[in-house]
Chain A
Amino acid sequence: MSVLYLLYAFVVGAFLVGFGMKISARVKRKYGPPVYQPLMDVIKLLSKRSISHGLVQDLGVWMALAGSALLVLAIPVSPFPFINLDLIAFVYVSAIASLGVALGTAQVANPYASIGMARALMLMLGYEVPVLLTVVFFYFSLGTATLADLATLQKEGWFLFKYPLLSAGYYLALLAEMGKPPFDVVTAPSEIASGPMVEYGGKYLGFLVIYAFFHTFVSTALFAVLFLGGGTWWEVLLKQLVLYFSVVVVASSFPRFVSEKAVVYQWIVPSLFVILNFVVVAS
């Protein structure tokens, strides 16, 4: 069943990304590629000869893929089995994939890659603050931050409506965590030539694309579990589609923050929303 879950996540992630490309193109009055284009890209990339700068770059892509797949197995979606983690453990497990990308980037002697990785880590410092405040909020008001428990506690009402400010704060952090505009300073194609991914081609880029599929699935599914009640696979899928649609529309509408402004924004705005929800609940 775990293998089926991973396959399901792969397919859903690919179609979410394709769906996003279509919506983004339509926002810009273009036609856009077919929704299945990302799947075709992965097949093409995995079949292309490529170059590598060393064993650490190879290990990096393995860790990135394995880490993102491990996160899929931690999201409670019925009827798939999952590893029961709380939000703190989930945040640290998500660092495995980031570490994999970071290691692969470290081996290439391309300054664009290093700049991109430095930006990625700084941005992580930004969006982790509202996530930590969210953990504190859950412990403060509910006494738990275990993903399965949080999904179960929403049977009488989603947290999106019960704690709207908290949801809004986490949504802004989600944009940064997914690397979507206005927080796409990490890849910044016109500045640093895709940043950490500049030296990845062929099957290595294919691995990173699969990592992006899993990452998209995990980010949207986590929000669905934390604030939209979770549920069975098709309920979560519907919620992910709506959520990702909103993310893509926002991403298509805003220019990019510079790295320090992105960090400061994450420290102030979403954190303020979470703290305000604290005040509301405490009063």
Chain B
Amino acid sequence: MASGLVRVALAFLVLSFALLALYRNICWVSIVPAAFGAAIVFSLSSPLLLFVGWEIVSWTIFFSIILRGSSGGTESVPVVASRKNVVYLYVSFAALSAVFMLMWIFLSHFSYKSPYFYLAVVASVIKGAIIPFHLWLVPVYSSMDLSFTAFNSAVLSKLGLIVILLPLYLGADYSGVRNAVESFGLEVNFIRIFILLSSFTALYAAYRAVLTEDLVELLSYSSLSQVGYIFAGAFLSLSSGKDVASMALNGTMLHALNHALVKIPFFMLAYFVERKYGTTSLSETGGLYKKSPVLFFLVLPLAISLAGVPPAGGFVSKWLLYTSMLRAGYYVSFFLLGVAGVLSFLYVYRFLHSLFFERLKKDSLKEDDFLELKWHFLPTGVASVMTLIVGVKPSLVTNLLSSAIPEPLSLNVEAHLPTGSIAFAFLLLVIFSAFLWKISADHRYVPDTDNYTSAAVRLDQNPEISYDFSYGFYMPLKRPFRWLCYLNPEKLYDVLWEYLRDGLSYLRTLASGRFTDYIFYISIFAFVMLFVGKVFNTPCFLMIRKIFSFVGGG
């Protein structure tokens, strides 16, 4: 079964890489090493190699952020400084994740089956940018070459997922994930907490995506939201009975696939917009439908999938995740994911409206600039067809995934959800509607500037007049949800920094410069570590003990 998971994961990597390679101007220098690192992680050969692959990916991201600004030094100082801050931000979280991974590897003696597996899970949660470890994702995605962001969003965000699923495939001991603090006499079901955090991540990120005015931020927050869905489903598949676990696992895998199929074309479209328009502000883009109506119809199934609307694949995967949450009794998590699903409909519409239908204030772009859009047709079309296949006949895809799904957890999706009937009925009804439209009275096409309001401003004669409703599309939602600002996870870091700063200023007073004082402090620390309470079996103490025994030669 583990070999099946490896095959499916590597096939997923190859598919994503192949889709991306069909575009022009992708950042090979970043994507190739990152794909190599991801392949090592997905191969699940040993914990140490998994860590090596993990770090190759992290270092590729560091350098891709730095290298993006190194083209001729034309960027302003604030932009260069902000990019450095993004690197430091990502280094902090990547280092934290690496520390947990190393602790797991070191304490488990390079074995997947050890009671310290929960440390790897924490590392995965950090890598997956689940709240409160989400701060790095949006700045990092915005600071890299967007073709690499596409790969990052589609593939690299799933590295943590494969580690979380290890208990199902390699017999990794996840009892510690359920209760990592037994040694303190506490009983805390961490799986429930992770599911709740993942669901809250999905909701919070979707809310931020609705309110943002930047295209790349919208797609980045959307990615964060979908990762929340995926991680919630993955944790649920570990913790529940067979029926619920099979729904959750199938939903997770389908959602991971749908997410990759959607995000690669969307980020590549954002890449095109950034280069040709010089901006990614949603109120300053537009007009893509007039330049390339074919592209709009190829993007539409992907947008529908992201919103979770049938007959696209996103509907199936979201339905599986929702239903498994309800059947397992995770009502709060279901509610959070459900509201996130409604919010996804809002930001998907904003994406389509701003990119394709808003009027460009000043269309100074040449026809040649849009020839590159033709390179988007094939990969976008392939992704659209695949997501429609998942939505109409999900059993085809789950059969392909069957080698990666343990036999007791396999699921015939169509026995639970009549996707075929929905799609077939919808298709017939659309054909009937088109027929009715055709036989009704005649019609003629007029330019979009010929409308109810245009007579006052003569938009056809004054194209530079901005008469679109484009800025602050969902601004009325900011006021009712200002209470959400008080739940802003970023503020948690501000509070922690204030306490840390105050604490560090106290510690500064302890730096007396006297050797005897330092011996006293180390003695107090050693006394606490060795003799107080139930710390003997914590990873921290064991690490210290191993270091002492190594230093002492015994």
Give residues in A with beta carbon < 8 Å to B. 2, 46-56, 58, 61-63, 65-67, 69-70, 73, 83-86, 88-89, 92-93, 95-96, 98-99, 102-103, 106-112, 114-115, 117-119, 121-122, 124-125, 128-129, 132-133, 135-136, 139-140, 145, 193, 198-199, 202-204, 206-207, 259-260, 263-264, 267
Which B residues from 336 to 368 make CB contacts under 8 A with A? 338-339, 341-343, 345-346, 349, 352-353, 356-357, 359
B435, closest chain A residue (CB): A62
With a CB–CB cut-off of 8 A, which chain A residues contact B375? none
With a CB–CB cut-off of 8 A, which chain A residues contact B357? 56, 106-107, 109
A58, closest chain B residue (CB): B437
Chain A min CB distance to B290 (Å): 9
A64, closest chain B residue (CB): B433
Question: Are A85 and B480 also in contact (CB < 8 A) when A53-B446, A121-B349 are?
Answer: no
Q: Are A102 and B349 touching (Cβ within 8 A)?
A: yes
- How far is it, in angstroms, between the C-alpha of A119 and the C-alpha of B469 when the chains are bound? 12
With a CB–CB cut-off of 8 A, which chain A residues contact B468? 109, 111, 114
Chain A min CB distance to B246 (Å): 17
Q: Are B467 and A111 touching (Cβ within 8 A)?
A: yes
Q: Are B444 and A124 touching (Cβ within 8 A)?
A: no
With a CB–CB cut-off of 8 A, which chain B residues contact A139? 326-327, 331
What is the interface of chain A mostly: helix, strand, loop, or mixed? helix
Q: Are B441 and A49 touching (Cβ within 8 A)?
A: yes
With a CB–CB cut-off of 8 A, which chain B residues contact A70? 422, 425-426, 429
- How far is it, in angstroms, between the C-alpha of A122 and the C-alpha of B473 when the chains are bound? 10
Q: Are A65 and B429 touching (Cβ within 8 A)?
A: yes
Binds A, one of B45-53, B100-108, B307-315: B307-315
Interface footprint category on B: 35 or more
Chain B min CB distance to A202 (Å): 6
Instruction: Say yes or no: is B538 at the interface (Cβ < 8 Å to chain A).
Output: no
Instruction: Say yes or no: is B318 at the interface (Cβ < 8 Å to chain A).
Output: yes
Given pairs A52-B443, A52-B444, A119-B476, 7 additional interface contacts (CB within 8 A): A52-B445, A83-B422, A88-B338, A99-B307, A114-B473, A121-B474, A122-B476
Q: Name 9 A/B residue pairs within 8 A (Cβ), A-sorted.
A: A54-B445, A92-B315, A95-B309, A118-B473, A122-B476, A124-B346, A128-B342, A135-B334, A140-B331
B439, closest chain A residue (CB): A46
With a CB–CB cut-off of 8 A, which chain B residues contact A84? 418
- How far is it, in angstroms, between the C-alpha of A145 and the C-alpha of B331 when the chains are bound? 13
- How far is it, in angstroms, between the C-alpha of A111 and the C-alpha of B176 when the chains are bound? 56
Q: Are B343 and A50 touching (Cβ within 8 A)?
A: no
A93, A99, A128, A207: the one contacting B339 at CB < 8 Å is: A128
B332, closest chain A residue (CB): A136
Instruction: Say yes or no: is B322 at the interface (Cβ < 8 Å to chain A).
Output: yes
Chain B min CB distance to A74 (Å): 8
With a CB–CB cut-off of 8 A, which chain B residues contact A199? 451-452
A62, A85, A106, A110: the one contacting B437 at CB < 8 Å is: A62
Question: Are A83 and B421 also in contact (CB < 8 A) when A49-B442, A106-B357, A114-B468 are?
Answer: yes
- How far is it, in angstroms, between the C-alpha of A56 and the C-alpha of B380 when the chains are bound? 19
Q: Are B453 and A112 touching (Cβ within 8 A)?
A: yes
Q: Are A92 and B309 touching (Cβ within 8 A)?
A: yes
Chain B min CB distance to A129 (Å): 7
With a CB–CB cut-off of 8 A, which chain B residues contact A193? 452
